[in-house]
Structure 1
Amino acid sequence: MLLTVKHTTRYAFAGEVRHGLQRLRLKPKTSHGQEVIEWRMDLVGARPEAAYDDQHFNRVDLVSIEPSAPEVVVTCEGVVRTADNNGVTGPHTGIMPLWCFLRPTPLTRPGPKVRQLLAGIEADRSDILAYLHTLSRVIGEQVEYVPGASDAHTTAEQALVAGKGVCQDHAHVFIAAGRMLDVPMRYVGGYLRMDDRDEQEAGHGWAEAHVQGLGWVGFDVSNAICPDERYIRVATGCDYAEAAPVTGIAIGAGETSLDVHLSVGENRVGMQQQQAASGGQQQVQGG
């Protein structure tokens, strides 16, 4: 599938910014299951300072806010070719050892509710892949998807206690429980092509578990599926905080308002052109 993305993030400041830095994880990379055909980032009210790969091999752009800028606007546009690999992204790579993905983080530290969740699942843990699918289903049943029910600081335990949350919370509960089973877990932030619309309110988040013999396998608890060709992976981390698209500081900014516009669609024209160039043979299986 050939997907097109346009993602605009606008920060408006009530005060005059004296100094500000933002760390942007907004550029997807070519990896197992996806190929970045083109990608560009435009900045208003900020300028690039550095670009590097972080400890999770995410592409990071460090930008500084222009003094007294009333707002910062970051616009990303691109085209990504994706494939359906049944959620499998393959062997572990990078500088982070697998044991790092077993450590609890502030957002994924298990509490009584997470332990109770695991204790209530009567399934054979010897088939860990099947067990993780069961775990995903149970979390979806116990944590209702309710937009606005949580924020970026809500923990897995808090989401389970409340019984509601969003995709980030589903992923954190899954990660917290999986690590208690000694399964390396990580958070994934990216984009999802919705079946019924292009326009969306925000990006998407899901989890990946490292399963022996398969490598990293994705689980989208919110949609009760493994990621397919509709998904674009942008950043990973031990939890959302390490994969957040935008983090930073703005001294003197005062109250800050955020506005996000996101569109993820299928590039049917591009696919038709590729098929024609290859003699009409479809290279990527669509949805």
Structure 2
Amino acid sequence: MRLSIRHTTRYEFSQPLAHGLQRLRLRPKTTHGQDVIEWETDLDGAVRELEYDDQHHNHVELISVEAGVKALSITSTGIVDTSDNAGIIGQHAGHMPLWCFLRQTKLTRPGPRMRAMVQGLGTDRSNSLDLLHELSRLIAEQVAYEKGMTDVGTLAETALEKGHGVCQDHSHIFIGAGRLLDIPMRYIGGYLKMEGQAEQEAGHGWAEAHVEGLGWVGFDVSNQISPDDRYVRVATGCDYSEAAPVTGIAFGEHDSALEVRLTVEQELKGQQQQQQQQTNGR
């Protein structure tokens, strides 16, 4: 499937900004199941300082906000070809050893509720894949998908106690519980093409578990499926904080308002041919 993506993050400040720095993880990479055809990030109110690949092999751009601005816009646009590999990414690669993905973080650290949930899983734990699917089902049953009940700093244990959350919370609970089972787990931030809806409020998050014989396998707890050709992987991390699309700091006496606009839609064959003809005619 060929997916067209446009993602805009806009900040408006009540007073001119004295100084600001932002770290962007917005550029997906070609990997198993996806081929990045084109990608571009445009800045209005900031300049790009440098680019590098972090410890998780995510592409990172560091930008500085221009002094005196009252608005900052970051717009990424691109085209990605995807395929359905039943969620299987394959064997581990990159700078981080597998044992790092067994380490709990502040956001994933289990408490009594998570430990009890893991203890309640079936006694046959010889099949990791079946066990993980059962864990995913239990989390979806115990934590209803509901916006506005949690935020980016909500702990997995807290979301489980509340019984409400979003994809980030589902993923953190799944990751923390999987690590209790001695299964390497990681967080994935990216995009999902929703059926009949091009415009979305935000990106999507899910998890991957390292299963013996298969390598990394994706689990979208919120939708109870393994990622297919509607998904685009952008960044990975031990939790959301290491895969967040935009993070940063700003200096100056001000209040800020944030607006996110995101469209993810499939390009039809006719659109692809027209674009190719336009490219060839240049």
The whole-number CA distance in structure 1 between the counterparts of 2:95 and 2:121 is 34
Assess if the C-alpha contact under 8 Å between 1:145 and 1:222 holds in 2. yes
Alignment of 1:232-243 (within 5 A): 232-243=232-243
Q: Which runs of 4+ in 1 moved over 6 A?
A: none
Assess if the C-alpha contact under 8 Å between 1:7 and 1:76 holds in 2. yes
The residue that corresponds to 2:9 in the other structure is 9
The residue that corresponds to 2:86 in the other structure is 86
SS of the counterpart of 1:176? helix
The whole-number CA distance in structure 1 between the counterparts of 2:9 and 2:272 is 31
Identity of aligned residues (%): 61
Q: Give 1:121 shift.
A: 1.9
The whole-number CA distance in structure 1 between the counterparts of 2:102 and 2:15 is 42
Q: Does 1:134 align with 2:102?
A: no
Assess if the C-alpha contact under 8 Å between 1:2 and 1:271 holds in 2. no
The whole-number CA distance in structure 1 between the counterparts of 2:270 and 2:34 is 16
SS of the counterpart of 2:158? helix
The whole-number CA distance in structure 1 between the counterparts of 2:243 and 2:23 is 11
The residue that corresponds to 2:263 in the other structure is 263
* Between 60-69 and 12-21, the greater mean CA deviation after superposition: 12-21
The whole-number CA distance in structure 1 between the counterparts of 2:272 and 2:255 is 47
Q: Which amino acid is 1:236 matched to?
A: T
The whole-number CA distance in structure 2 between the counterparts of 1:253 and 1:121 is 51
SS of the counterpart of 1:223? coil
The residue that corresponds to 1:213 in the other structure is 213
Q: Which amino acid is 1:231 matched to?
A: Y
> How does the TM-score come out when normalised to structure 2?
0.95
Paired residues, what number? 276
Give ranges in structure 2 of 5+ residues lacking alignment. Answer: 277-282
Task: Decide whether aligned partners of structure 1 residues 229 and 123 sit closer, same or farther in structure 2, where only a CA change above 3 A counts.
Answer: farther
Assess if the C-alpha contact under 8 Å between 1:41 and 1:76 holds in 2. yes
Q: Give 1:123 shift.
A: 4.7
Assess if the C-alpha contact under 8 Å between 1:12 and 1:71 holds in 2. yes
The residue that corresponds to 1:29 in the other structure is 29
The whole-number CA distance in structure 2 between the counterparts of 1:225 and 1:219 is 6
Q: Give 1:269 shift.
A: 2.8
Q: Does 1:231 align with 2:226?
A: no
1:234-265 Cα offsets, whole Å, 9 max, x none, are 00000000000011110015222110000000
The residue that corresponds to 1:45 in the other structure is 45
Q: Please, what is the CA RMSD of the aligned residues?
A: 1.6
Q: Which amino acid is 1:216 matched to?
A: W
Q: Give 1:44 shift.
A: 0.4
The residue that corresponds to 2:188 in the other structure is 188
SS of the counterpart of 1:108? coil
The whole-number CA distance in structure 2 between the counterparts of 1:211 and 1:256 is 43
The whole-number CA distance in structure 1 between the counterparts of 2:99 and 2:270 is 41
Q: Does 1:252 align with 2:249?
A: no
Give ranges in structure 1 of 5+ residues lacking alignment. Answer: 277-287
Q: Which amino acid is 1:164 matched to?
A: H
Assess if the C-alpha contact under 8 Å between 1:5 and 1:79 holds in 2. yes
Assess if the C-alpha contact under 8 Å between 1:36 and 1:81 holds in 2. yes
SS of the counterpart of 1:95? coil
The residue that corresponds to 1:62 in the other structure is 62
The residue that corresponds to 1:158 in the other structure is 158
Q: Which amino acid is 1:50 matched to?
A: L
Assess if the C-alpha contact under 8 Å between 1:123 and 1:131 holds in 2. no
Assess if the C-alpha contact under 8 Å between 1:9 and 1:74 holds in 2. yes
* Between 174-183 and 261-270, the greater mean CA deviation after superposition: 261-270
Q: Which amino acid is 1:72 matched to?
A: L
The whole-number CA distance in structure 1 between the counterparts of 2:98 and 2:210 is 8
Q: Which amino acid is 1:46 matched to?
A: A
The whole-number CA distance in structure 1 between the counterparts of 2:122 and 2:81 is 40
The residue that corresponds to 2:177 in the other structure is 177
Task: Decide whether aligned partners of structure 1 residues 270 and 65 sit closer, same or farther in structure 2, where only a CA change above 3 A counts.
Answer: farther
> How does the TM-score come out when normalised to structure 1?
0.94
The whole-number CA distance in structure 2 between the counterparts of 1:126 and 1:184 is 16
Assess if the C-alpha contact under 8 Å between 1:2 and 1:270 holds in 2. no
Q: Which amino acid is 1:119 matched to?
A: Q
Q: Give 1:14 shift.
A: 1.7
SS of the counterpart of 2:72? strand
Task: Decide whether aligned partners of structure 1 residues 130 and 152 sit closer, same or farther in structure 2, where only a CA change above 3 A counts.
Answer: same
